Amino acid sequence: MSERLSPFPQPIRIEHLRQEYEVNPPKIYHSEILPVQGLPERYIAYNPTIVPPTAGLAVPPTLLARVEHEDDERSDVWALHRIGNTWTPNGLRIEGLQDPHVKKIAIDGEEFFLFDGIRVGEHPKYRSVGECYYMLYWCVKDLGDIPKTEPFAYTPPWYKDTPVELDENGLIHVFPRPQKGRWGMGTTCYEACNNLNQLTDAIEGASPIEDLQQLFDGETVWGGFKDALQLANDDLIGLGGHVSHYSTLENPEEVARGGPLRVYDVASAVFNRKTRTIEGMWIDLTTKDLPDCESKILPNCHPENLRRVAFGTVWDRLGNGRVRILGGLRDRHMFGVVKEDRFERWEKTA
């Protein structure tokens, strides 16, 4: 078994993760807000994912992002091309979805896009639940086919942050996140299957990762993972996402100022699929590491409710000890950060 980079005590606690972040702050080489032009007035784009280039397809760098009116949370997914230093809509829209994620996979030597997103509405199987949110999955040759293609898999109601990773041996790893409540709390589970046709059953049959179940109690601490990456050791999978808590855990006086605020930090973990344990976990960055910007203001919430919210959505490993993390900041902006790749450091200790 691999040694931990920093031997934090078990069970994992948010206090340790934050203390380690303060004592050993991340090495950040570049941090920026990704500017967007060409959206309708008062529309915003955040929570992006990178569209991987495919063989023989020469296009500008492309993101998919969640786009919505600043006073609403009904979202669509838009494709954005980079022109110079600005991201601009390219015409592709996928209606009624939010928080997209896409990766390139190979099946029988052919390249496909594995795409997922969250839908709010009536579930196709659990209709008695009424309106809910759930995740859907597509496997397509062209992202433009998604609006006219039925998804091949979906989660039960009230699931978010359920990434999928295919390893070199063809095994499919899935990390479902069922919610204890409706508004983002919950833990992360794990299951594996042999082909994409089994994905829905694998999601429903996944069992909690005990280390994370103890950390994410669903009351004061919660979180999830948006990205999953096979590491150098076949048994290890890197997870990228967020860990969250209320600011009263750090500063009870925040209540008197209209809080508590929700604190979302970008975080990573290393999961051992053989032992079903978390062998390493750390905070990659907080809102303090990102440029200052305005927040989205949610109805009936404190105006600064999202001031300390940063979601990590994609981990793009660049090599040479660096990783590019993209995400959403304060539910209003896209950010990009290049920082030290602790997965790489961690792999070297394996």
Domain total of the chain:
1
Beta-bridge partners for 189: 208
Q: Could you read off the pLDDT of 232-286 as tens digits, one per residue?
A: 988 999 999 999 988 766 666 655 555 677 899 999 999 999 999 999 999 999 9
Spatial separation of the C-alpha atoms in residues 270 and 157, rounded to whole Å:
27
Q: Which long-range contacts (CB under 8 A, 24 or more apart) does 299-307 make?
A: 302/258, 302/259, 302/261, 304/258, 304/261, 305/261, 305/262, 306/262, 306/330, 306/331, 306/332, 307/261
Predicted pLDDT of residue 47: 98
1 within some domain:
no
Indicate whether 175 belongs to any domain.
yes
Between the two ends of the chain, the Cα-to-Cα distance in Å is: 7
pLDDT band per the 50, 70, 90 thresholds, residue 2: very low
Phi-psi region of 178 (alpha: psi -120 to 50; beta: other; left: phi over 0): beta
Closest CA to 48 of 9, 79, 17, 11: 79
Coil, helix or strand at residue 9: coil
Over residues 194-211, the pLDDT tens digits come to 999 999 999 999 999 999
Assigned domain for 6 exists: no
Q: How far apart are CA 54 and CA 116, in angstroms?
A: 18
Of the pLDDT bands very low, low, confident and very high (cuts 50, 70, 90), residue 184 is: low
Write out the two tokens for 23: 């004592």
Q: Flag whether 75 is in a domain.
A: yes
124-174 residue pLDDT tens: 999 999 999 999 999 999 999 999 999 999 999 999 999 999 998 889 999
Burial 289-317 (b: 16+ CB within 10 A, else e): bbeeeebbbeeeebeebbbbbbbbbbbbe
* Cα 242 from Cα 184, distance rounded (Å): 11
Backbone region of residue 330 per phi and psi (left: phi > 0; alpha: psi in -120 to 50; beta: other values): left
Query: Does residue 173 form part of some domain?
Result: yes
Nearest to 139 by CA among 159, 157, 154: 154
On whether the CB atoms of residues 327 and 31 are closer than 8 A, the answer is no
Percentage of the chain beyond pLDDT 90 is 74
Classify residue 5: in a domain, yes or no. no
pLDDT at residue 5 in the model? 46
Distance between CA atoms of 136 and 127, rounded to whole angstroms?
A: 15
Q: Output the CA–CA distances (angstroms, integers) from residue 124 to 28, 97, 151, 278, 310, in the order listed.
A: 43, 15, 11, 34, 31
Q: Give a yes or no: residue 98 inside a domain.
A: yes
CATH of the domain at 52: 2.115.10.20
At residue 9 the predicted structure's pLDDT band, cuts being 50, 70 and 90, is low
Instruction: Give the number of other Cβ atoms within 10 Å of residue 154's Cβ.
Output: 21
pLDDT > 90? residue 7:
no
In a domain, 4, yes or no: no
Check residue 254 and give its pLDDT: 57
Is the Cβ–Cβ distance between 35 and 85 less than 8 Å? yes
Which domain, by its residues, includes 108? 14-348
